[in-house]
Structure 1
Amino acid sequence: MTSKYRVPPFDAELGATLGALGDLIGPTLMPDMIAGMRDTLVGPPVEDLLAGRPVTHFERTIPGPVGAPDLTLSIFRRVDHVPGGPGIYHIHGGGMVMGDRFLGADALIDWVELLDVVAVSVEYRLAPEHPDPAPVEDCYAGLEWVAANVDELGIDPRKIVVAGASAGGGLAAGVALLSRDRGGPILAGQLLIYPMLDDRNDTVSSHQFDGIGVWDRTSNDTGWSALLGERRKTDHVSIYAAPARAADLSNLPPAFIDVASAEVFRDEDIAYASTIWKCGGDAELHVWPGGFHGFDIFFPQAALSLLARETRTRWLRRILGA
């Protein structure tokens, strides 16, 4: 379906490739497509990611939330890592219904190599088989484990950033709120890359991108409904599941929020940064002109993608003193 709203233009370089991407994955995810798409939206083999890089990978199996299965964490560390440096706790994207802990790991490995961070990526349970609060509670349990095992990992507990893209960005924001409200680990920052924050899906940008781009309005409905079921769009939705519902965003770690101008999440992400400022908090906001959702993942060598990745790295250097 074509939106009745006029849409901002795509970046010329990215727009030229969008048609081919649409043929591969399509703009719209329907509930009956989730199982098939799970085979498509996964990270590359870890051996391929690490080829020729001075970075090691190992795994830990840790207890999940009370009454839930164990969790798997992937840990990336430079071969010459100096203990006591910063750490990044990573939560993968995938609309709450797809993806694995290696999705987005290429950027993590870059940060490991460039900044000597220890990066930890969590394998959380997916909706609809495991609806809210399973995903965010899994992610929070992983963060607690990281904070409790900083000596083993070689991390300074004062320098842990939670990071994620898309659904992972929404879960990272939820984890930051949980940590604040439960008196959990004190985070140095939250890196929210085009985060999925608002189950209501009713902003102007959510209406503009309906049947076009990547992860359109209907896909967003599919992901949120899988996560929340009948609670969606009611007063029974937790701020930890949909952080855009939080009125109080005070006492949170500094936030980096970026989003593209030509995607569903644009307006909710801008509003989230504005609420942080309204509450006296620290947020750095970037709106990448002409980008579509996940542009830097699908086309990492595009000029806009390189700029976005460089800007995130500069923020990490500043926040972590790396």
Structure 2
Amino acid sequence: MEIEHVLPELRKPMKRAQVSLPRWLVRPLVKRMPVPKSSAVRVRAAKAGSVRLRIYEPVGARSGAGLLWIHGGGLLFGDARQDETLCLSTAERLGIVILSANYRFAPEHPFPAAHEDVLTAWRWFLQHATGLGVESARIAVGGESAGAGLAAALAQRIHDDGRTQPCAQWLFAPMLDDRTAAHRDLDAREHFVWNNRQNREAWSGYLGAPAGSAEVPPYSVPARRLDLTGLPPAYLTWTDLELFADEDSAYADALRAAGVPVTTDVVPGGVHGFENWANDTPVARELIERAQAWLRSATAAP
């Protein structure tokens, strides 16, 4: 892929975002990264069993809504701290309480480890909603990249459990379909930030089997689910240059076909995860503002 296709404002920060180190080196680096501060949002740690949580609580008025946020990292690495800018901004602007969940990584902990961890976080949020000033019926689930894929699968699991449902899905460049990784012809395109060889390592480690296998466990691969009826309204954003573009578009179409309200936001010339690693660029700020406006409406009191 040629860099000339990328928006000029993203080219320089993209060089810092390229994931070229092995996962065992990336993991400690992410945990040590500096995080921004905000006088408008109180941040604290909590635990749901063995699952580490990061809670963002507006100091001022609260809307009564909540968001369970799940970080990205290809199912191989990452930390709730990496999304501090987005979580602080969203908590402050929307008056929303955010619970950001850490989870176990593949390949050491294959499916269902990460799925069960975010399900534990969801149940903890419901149990503590009243104390956090949150109405349980107004909690959305969301995430970025692998985290967005986990959020999509979580919405499916919660739907089937039949208890309190998320009011919305807020999905940034979701990693949804292991079958993409099985298409080795995509390797030659060398997608920026996250390419198909990395994708294959991630999915194979998470599934404990080759990506694209004939059978996968329920809730492991969101795009493999046949019946999407009854899932919560969804916001999906991705870029036209990234590896996940086709699978994200297909999932949005499948949700619509199932009667789920869907809003899509495709950013031309963007690169996977740019709203995170280039969050101070105009294109990222504009995307976040559009996404937050949608979330504000989706979590509003009836």
Matches for 1:184-203 after TM superposition, within 5 Å: 184-201=163-180
CA distance in 1, matches of 2:184, 2:126: 37
Gaps of 5+ in 1: 64-69
TM-score (norm 1): 0.86
Aligned to 1:163: 142
What's the secondary structure of 1:103's corresponding residue?
A: helix
CA distance in 2, matches of 1:93, 1:37: 13
**Cα deviation, residue 123, structure 1:** 1.4
After superposition, the Cα gap between the structure-2 partners of 1:59 and 1:131, relative to the gap in structure 1 and judged at 3 Å, is same
CA distance in 2, matches of 1:71, 1:86: 22
Matches for 1:74-93 after TM superposition, within 5 Å: 74-82=54-62, 85-93=64-72
Question: In the alignment, is the contact (CA less than 8 A) between 1:161 and 1:191 conserved in 2?
Answer: yes
CA deviations over 1:109-155 (Å, ceiling 9, x no partner): 11111111011011111111110010011101110111122111110
Residue type at the aligned position of 1:294: G
**Cα deviation, residue 25, structure 1:** 5.2
After superposition, the Cα gap between the structure-2 partners of 1:92 and 1:27, relative to the gap in structure 1 and judged at 3 Å, is closer
Aligned to 2:26: 37
CA distance in 2, matches of 1:92, 1:306: 19
**Cα deviation, residue 209, structure 1:** 6.7
Gaps of 5+ in 2: none
Question: In the alignment, is the contact (CA less than 8 A) between 2:240 and 2:268 conserved in 1?
Answer: yes
Question: In the alignment, is the contact (CA less than 8 A) between 2:181 and 2:203 conserved in 1?
Answer: no
After superposition, the Cα gap between the structure-2 partners of 1:81 and 1:238, relative to the gap in structure 1 and judged at 3 Å, is farther
Residue from 292, 300, 306 that aligns with 2:271:
292
CA deviations over 1:196-234 (Å, ceiling 9, x no partner): 001111598982774341111111111111111225322
Aligned to 1:265: 244
Identical pairs, percent: 32
User: Does 209-218 or 91-100 show the bigger shift?
Assistant: 209-218
**Cα deviation, residue 75, structure 1:** 0.9
**Cα deviation, residue 235, structure 1:** 3.1
User: Does 294-303 or 197-206 show the bigger shift?
Assistant: 197-206
CA distance in 2, matches of 1:152, 1:75: 13
What's the secondary structure of 1:135's corresponding residue?
A: helix
Aligned to 2:11: 15
Aligned pairs, number: 301
**Cα deviation, residue 165, structure 1:** 0.1
The question of 1:114 aligning with 2:110 is answered no
Question: In the alignment, is the contact (CA less than 8 A) between 1:206 and 1:265 conserved in 2?
Answer: no
What's the secondary structure of 1:138's corresponding residue?
A: helix
Residue type at the aligned position of 2:221: A
CA RMSD of aligned residues (A): 2.4
TM-score (norm 2): 0.92
CA distance in 2, matches of 1:239, 1:209: 31
What's the secondary structure of 1:164's corresponding residue?
A: strand
What's the secondary structure of 1:252's corresponding residue?
A: coil
User: Does 103-112 or 8-17 show the bigger shift?
Assistant: 8-17
CA distance in 2, matches of 1:140, 1:171: 10
Residue type at the aligned position of 2:175: M
After superposition, the Cα gap between the structure-2 partners of 1:205 and 1:177, relative to the gap in structure 1 and judged at 3 Å, is farther
Residue type at the aligned position of 1:124: Y
Aligned to 1:67: none
CA distance in 1, matches of 2:167, 2:233: 7
CA distance in 2, matches of 1:194, 1:246: 18
